[in-house]
Structure 1
Amino acid sequence: MHTDNKSVLELMQFDEYDVLELIELSASVGWDYDEHEIRTVMSSGKIFGHKNAVGKIVSSAAIIPYDTDLASIGMVIVNKEYRGLGLGKKATQKCIDSVSKETSIMLISTEDGKPLYENLGFITVDYIHKYLSDSYIQTKMSINQEITLGKYSENDFNEIVELDSAAFGDKRRKFLLNRIEQSKLCLVVRNQKGKIIGYGLSILGPINLILGPIVAPNPQTAALIVDELALNHQGKLRIDVPSSNKELMFFLQKSGFIKVSEPPIMIKNSVNMPYRNKELFAIAAQIFG
């Protein structure tokens, strides 16, 4: 534990000038936030944390408020030399205080972080299944003749927002706008009438190609989106799957993915997750819920 006086640790909101130090803080705990990811977090929400007496960032916590009554917390990190001072709790509480008391707040916890969140009033309501792949096994999948898979265009945005809202449980226009801009690839699935019935994103990070969010009407279409997003990628892949999607998880295991953890989804100011229509097959990332 660091011995500096607590009074020299200032809790503040970070801005674009703090991005590089936030990357360093993330790397110090083995997380792979890069500049693009942190800028998406900042442009979609707020990042709070502490700086020490010489202006070095030693803690962080981020909150992403969505359009109506849901927000997501993530990126809760404390420099190892400053642990035991309650910095993570204070930064997380600042996130909680930044939204109304009527807002349901969700987060996906690490095992180490769970006691902290329970102390702040969060309860476990579900689990996420984190899958990684070092070498994806491409599947020769036949496309259902009743659907078409193509690249996103700006004219698709409003339809995607509505589709995502029903699957996720809240509208998140600002986040989706930022995430699509950040994406390596955004795919849309249309039915015979041209209506969008599914979509998926891939995000190229410093370690993994992240697949998600993926919204689809059924597991077969979700698998098709995964297959297309992963096509020809030479490198590591990551996908985080809600617990209700056992058929997609079976497909992932056949395709070279290995489940590495099952972190809890926790929520505050509610006893349940917001209503979802069971069409969310992969989340964007743990910070975004």
Structure 2
Amino acid sequence: MATGLKKAVQLRAMGPDDLSAAYELSREQQWPHREKDWDRMLDLGQGVIAESEGRIVGTTMWWTFGEDVASIGMVIVSKDVQGQGLGRQLMNAALEQIGERTVLLNATAEGLNLYRALGFETVSSVYQHQGAAFSVPIPELIPNERVAPMKAGEISDIVELDRHATGLNRGRAVEYLCSYTQGVVLNRDGNQAGYALFRRFGRGYAIGPTVAPDIGGAKALISHWLGSNAGMFCRLDVPDDSGLSGWLDEMGLPCVGRVTRMCRGTAPQAGVLARTFSLINQALG
């Protein structure tokens, strides 16, 4: 394989035995992912690694949502080989495997020029909020509304609600997440109107995805998890149109970063009855 790198680099499929080295590569970038987080992402998707002289120097991963859409993430190039075209090679390898699907990603500032050159267009932004010293007000529920623990029998309804909110066929991902996370459901007039998951991730815990019919419902779901986990390090990745960023700042969960949402192809069309207020994570969206 032709390469602009000074040393020969080979690209190959990522496997479970590569996760320890991939984890160390993400630590080099000061990303918060645990090795277990890598493991779970590989369970749901596929990846490519770049190897030079027996050392992993680059990664990328992707996840398919039905026949039409995929998401790319975990694009990492070791600092000592950056600027030599490896990021483009990794992206091209992933895009070749993904095929004709629409492709979504959340880009750091460092990757923007590469992704634009590959045909990705800016859609919006995502804000990363996190912290442990937060104060949560009691949520203001409307009549006939409650937040309750998710039951196993509700997962199929949650999958359909998620599909409506995102325009994506994420059933396998949602069911997988529900197998090891805690979940709550927003019930309005006896119907499932939203949900939010809470799980170990990175330096602490992540709240997401959060799907709700409106910002009031989203705040009720998120407040449940924050209120029952006071003092725990929690993270949320919220779209810029969620309206939640200022609210999270006020509670003591400051914005510590921003990524750019990008799309190559026809963007999925979300429904009107519910929408996404926090992501699974920046890689999966």
Q: TM-score, normalised by structure 2?
A: 0.92
Give 1:178-217 correspondences, 5 Å limit: 178-183=176-181, 185-193=182-190, 195-217=191-213
SS at match of 1:174: helix
Q: Distance in 2 between matches of 1:38 and 1:234?
A: 26
Please tell me the root mean square deviation across aligned C-alpha atoms, in Å.
1.8
Which residue matches 1:58?
57
1:142: Cα distance to partner?
A: 4.0
Q: Distance in 1 between matches of 2:270 and 2:186?
A: 23
Is 1:275–2:274 an aligned residue pair? no
Which residue matches 2:217?
221
1:5: Cα distance to partner?
A: 4.5
SS at match of 2:157: helix
Deviations 1:106-144 (A, max 9, x none): 100000110111111111111112222231212122433
Counterpart AA for 1:51: E
1:208: Cα distance to partner?
A: 3.1
- State percent identity of aligned pairs: 24
CA contact (8 A) 2:163 2:171 kept: no
Deviations 1:71-105 (A, max 9, x none): 1111000111121221111111111111221x110
CA contact (8 A) 1:40 1:182 kept: no
**Cα 1:223/1:266, change in 2 over 3 Å:** same
CA contact (8 A) 1:200 1:214 kept: yes
CA contact (8 A) 1:267 1:273 kept: no
**Cα 1:196/1:50, change in 2 over 3 Å:** same
Counterpart AA for 2:113: P
For structure 1, which runs of at least 5 residues remain unmatched after alignment? none
Deviations 1:186-243 (A, max 9, x none): 11122232x2111001122241321110001111111111111122342322111112
CA contact (8 A) 2:148 2:185 kept: yes
Q: Distance in 1 between matches of 2:256 and 2:268?
A: 24
Which residue matches 2:19?
19
SS at match of 1:263: strand
Q: Distance in 2 between matches of 1:21 and 1:30?
A: 14
Give 1:67-82 correspondences, 5 Å limit: 67-82=66-81
Which residue matches 2:147?
149
Which residue matches 1:94?
93
**Cα 1:81/1:36, change in 2 over 3 Å:** same
Q: Distance in 2 between matches of 1:284 and 1:188?
A: 16
Q: Distance in 2 between matches of 1:233 and 1:25?
A: 32
Which residue matches 1:139?
137
CA contact (8 A) 2:186 2:192 kept: yes
CA contact (8 A) 2:132 2:232 kept: yes
CA contact (8 A) 2:5 2:84 kept: no
Deviations 1:4-45 (A, max 9, x none): 7443x2101111111111111111100011133212211111
1:276: Cα distance to partner?
A: 4.5
Q: Distance in 2 between matches of 1:81 and 1:182?
A: 37
Which residue matches 2:241?
244
Counterpart AA for 1:97: E
SS at match of 1:113: helix
Q: Distance in 2 between matches of 1:88 and 1:180?
A: 33
Q: Distance in 1 between matches of 2:162 and 2:42?
A: 21
For structure 2, which runs of at least 5 residues remain unmatched after alignment? none
CA contact (8 A) 1:129 1:240 kept: yes
Q: TM-score, normalised by structure 1?
A: 0.91
**Cα 1:240/1:206, change in 2 over 3 Å:** closer
**Cα 1:275/1:192, change in 2 over 3 Å:** closer
SS at match of 2:32: coil
CA contact (8 A) 1:133 1:258 kept: yes
